[in-house]
Every structure is written in C-alpha cells, then in structure tokens.
Chain A
C-alpha cells in the first residue's frame, strides 16, 4: 500500500497548469526518484505532499490522510533553497527541530554538523551557500520521519559533497520510511533509486522500478530519460 499517494492531482498556478491528472504512489521502504526537466512539476508535487500547496483538483494522501499538521509531524521536507532564518545560529536550528519534531535526533544532527565543520554558534548568514545547504540536509536527515521529501538535494554541488549527500541518504534509509528524491541530474543518483517516476509537462511519463527498466530496456535510467525527453 502506498504511503504517499497522488490521486488524479491537478494543480494550476493561475491559468498555468503545473500538474495534470497525476496519479502515482510511493511505497514505504523504497527510495523513489522523481525525475524530470526543470519546470516539469517535480517541486510542485513535493510541495503538495509537504502541505505547502493545495491541489486544484484531486487528492494527495499521506498514510491515508490529507496533508496537515498531523502528517507534517512525520514528514521531513528538504526544499530546493535555503529556508533557515538568516539570523539563526546552527544551535537555534537544532533546537527548533528538536522542539517541534518528536522524531528528531538532536545528538545525531550535532555530530553530523560537527563533522562538516559547522560550529553551534555559527550564524546561518555567515555560512557559505554550500554549508547552509548541508546544514539543512543534516537537520532533515536527522529526523526519524515516515516520509522524506528531498527536492534537488544534489543541485550544484561538487562530487565529494555529492557522495557525502548520497551516502547520508542511504544511511538514513529505514524500512518504514518512504523516500522521495527529485532531480533533473539522473546519472549521479540513479544507483540509489528503487523506483523512478518520470514527470514531463506535469504528467507522469514513466513509472517503474529502476532495475526493471535496466533489464527490459538494456540502458541506464539516465539513458532512458534522455530518450523519453529527447524532443525537448
């Protein structure tokens, strides 16, 4: 049974359709890749699941319930931008997460931050953008959430950081958690994916397991992606 379910979801921004009749499900204990070009609707899907947007039509269900404070308790959302208040210190961010999320492991977060060279008293504003993004990632992956929504976690990072992020994600995996990662750079991430969902112009183009795609099409997911989106 899917933990995160999109039921015929349509989302319009004014007159512009961002998603049209999207139906798909993400299972617990699996890492799903939401793959598509920029502007295809991946971020919109994640924001709908995170409860930051309301669908124009259709339903988004998390564990059978509509997104709200109850689902937010078990959802860990990593946006594609830095959202920590600039005047926060690293310690403030840890304290905020610890205060509002019962599943947050503060000790783990502090340890991860320390290994990245982030001091507790450092202000977010004084960190480089890369460090800010890594701080957000540490906080998110220190949650024991049932649903992880990671929006472009590998955007614009160097290969060493990319490996660090991927290994953090793999280590954060648990059998009862549903992990959804959105990206438009597939080559880096495809080996950690169980399932893939291709989003094109707000609709689902392909939805299958990564291994099945490799076996049946004899190509990498990246290769298949380039085929599917070749006309763009």
Chain B
C-alpha cells in the first residue's frame, strides 16, 4: 500500500514538477547547443553567444525556482490533505505514517533533484570537461581526501536539514488544523510564533554554549582537543549536528502523526 501511495504522490506532483524541470533542461540544452554552434562555426555572430549565456542563466534560475517551488508545493499538498481531500485520503487503507512518509519523500526528492541539477548546470560552466587522468585534479583529490568524512557529514547535515524544514511545515499544518474553521489563520500564526520561538531559543542556546565553552572545564578540554585536531573535531561536530537534526526530524514526524490520528478533525 505504501508503494502505491508513493506512486500516486509522485504521479500527482510529477504532473506539475516534470514540465518545469523539463523546461529548465530544454533551456539548458539550448545554451549547450549555442555553445556548440559557436565552437563549430568560424565566424559565429555575437548574439549567439549572448543568447547562449542568457539561456544558460535562465535554466539555472529555473532550477533554483524549481527547488523552492517544490518545497511550497509539497507544503500546500499536505495542507490540502488536512482539508476536504482528507475525507477521501484518510479513508484509504493506509496509515497516517504512510501518508506523511509518501508526501515527505516525494517533496524532498523533487527538491533534491532540482538543487542537484542546478549545481550540475551551474558547475558545468566551469570550463571544459576535466579528464580523470589530469595530474592537477589527482593532486587536488589527494589533498581533499582526508576531509571526505567532513564533506560527507556536511552533506548529510544539509540533507537532514532539508527533511526537517519540510516536516516542520507539516507539523505546523497539523497544529493549525486543530482550529477547524480558522485552519489557515491558525497555521500562519503557528508559523510566525514558532519562527520567533526558534530564534529566541537559538540565541539562548548559542549564548549558553559560548559561556560553557569559555568557562567550564569540559569546554576548555574540548577547545584544546579542537585546536589539536581541527579536522576530526569539525567532522565530529558536523555529524553531531546531523544526528541532532535527525532526532528533531523524528520528533516532528511522530508529533505530526499524533496530531493527525488522535487529534484529527477535518474541517
């Protein structure tokens, strides 16, 4: 059943996302085509170069817009789930976890795809394709290799943060849905209030952390370790944050699930 739900979620979101992504890739193809033409034709006109660069810029922009749109579209879909559509969706022989999971996976997939493509498109401007036998590249890779766990940790942290940002919005929708008739207003209020609360808490936590680092014996110890072994310490921190974010994601998931099962009241 979960696979079916996921399939439907991709099918529905795909109808909106694929044309936009396709459009971006067409623009990018146009830019590549213009570049190829310039290289093939001896006296290529100037506007071809301009057109090529514009197409390229548009394609990258579209991809960036895509990532943002994927986020908002995913939130809107979850919001709708807690409205009239819920009468149909929650009657399906599917658990609440599966509903949340399917929408989360689909939404994050489109976001990651868009962001990934925008990096690839953006990075490809960097010049001719580099061969893996290039000695400079090999030396660069050798120097960067020890930091691989750090980059991986960084990447993991970004990924989990993306998931947290989506789940956070789902949670807010579920909270807002507790106010039946004024669901939309309640969701917006929850968004603002939670945003302010998180800001205040972050500043407080940061202050506490700085204080502890400067004045506590453990803090001194950790500072010493950090200075001796910057790479390892940084890697540990990044992975630590990734794990913390994963815990926050799990908490949000279960809180949202609780709200849409025990406290579900479709408007």
Seen from chain A, the residues whose Cβ lies within 8 Å of a Cβ on chain B are 13, 47, 50-54, 68-70, 72-73, 75, 77, 79, 81-85, 87, 96, 99-101
Instruction: Please indicate the chain B residues that have their CB under 8 angstroms from the CB of A81 in the complex.
Output: 84, 87
* Docked pose: A83 CA to B92 CA in angstroms: 12
B91 touches A72 (CB 8 A): yes
Q: Give A174 Cβ to nearest chain B Cβ, in Å.
A: 20
A69 touches B1 (CB 8 A): yes
Instruction: Please indicate the chain B residues that have their CB under 8 angstroms from the CB of A69 in the complex.
Output: 1, 93-95
* Docked pose: A81 CA to B15 CA in angstroms: 26
A77 touches B84 (CB 8 A): no
B94 touches A100 (CB 8 A): yes
B90 at the interface (CB under 8 A from A): yes
B91 touches A75 (CB 8 A): yes
* Docked pose: A70 CA to B4 CA in angstroms: 16
* Docked pose: A166 CA to B80 CA in angstroms: 31
* Docked pose: A72 CA to B93 CA in angstroms: 5
With CB as the reference atom, state the residue of chain A lying closest to B180: A13
* Docked pose: A13 CA to B179 CA in angstroms: 11
B93 touches A73 (CB 8 A): yes
B265 touches A53 (CB 8 A): yes
With CB as the reference atom, state the residue of chain A lying closest to B95: A69
A52 touches B85 (CB 8 A): no
Selected A-B contacts with CB under 8 Å, 13 pairs: A47-B266, A53-B264, A54-B262, A54-B264, A68-B95, A69-B95, A72-B92, A81-B84, A82-B84, A83-B85, A83-B88, A83-B89, A85-B85
Instruction: Please indicate the chain B residues that have their CB under 8 angstroms from the CB of A85 in the complex.
Output: 12, 80, 85, 88
Seen from chain B, the residues whose Cβ lies within 8 Å of a Cβ on chain A are 1, 4, 8, 12, 15, 80, 84-95, 261-262, 264-266
B87 touches A52 (CB 8 A): yes
With CB as the reference atom, state the residue of chain B lying closest to A88: B12
Q: Give A177 Cβ to nearest chain B Cβ, in Å.
A: 16
A51 touches B91 (CB 8 A): yes
A51 touches B90 (CB 8 A): yes
* Docked pose: A79 CA to B12 CA in angstroms: 23
Q: Give A83 Cβ to nearest chain B Cβ, in Å.
A: 4
Instruction: Please indicate the chain A residues that have their CB under 8 angstroms from the CB of B88 in the complex.
Output: 79, 83-85
A52 touches B90 (CB 8 A): yes
* Docked pose: A208 CA to B12 CA in angstroms: 46
* Docked pose: A70 CA to B1 CA in angstroms: 11
B91 touches A50 (CB 8 A): yes
Q: Give A39 Cβ to nearest chain B Cβ, in Å.
A: 14
B86 touches A83 (CB 8 A): yes
* Docked pose: A55 CA to B87 CA in angstroms: 17
* Docked pose: A99 CA to B11 CA in angstroms: 13
Instruction: Please indicate the chain B residues that have their CB under 8 angstroms from the CB of A13 in the complex.
Output: 265
* Docked pose: A21 CA to B4 CA in angstroms: 38
Q: Nearest 5 A-B pairs (CB), nearest first? A: A83-B87, A79-B87, A83-B88, A72-B93, A69-B93
Instruction: Please indicate the chain A residues that have their CB under 8 angstroms from the CB of B85 in the complex.
Output: 83-85
B93 touches A100 (CB 8 A): yes
Instruction: Please indicate the chain A residues that have their CB under 8 angstroms from the CB of B266 in the complex.
Output: 47, 52
* Docked pose: A102 CA to B85 CA in angstroms: 21
Q: Give A198 Cβ to nearest chain B Cβ, in Å.
A: 25
Instruction: Please indicate the chain B residues that have their CB under 8 angstroms from the CB of A82 in the complex.
Output: 84
A83 touches B84 (CB 8 A): yes
Instruction: Please indicate the chain A residues that have their CB under 8 angstroms from the CB of B265 in the complex.
Output: 13, 53
* Docked pose: A96 CA to B9 CA in angstroms: 11
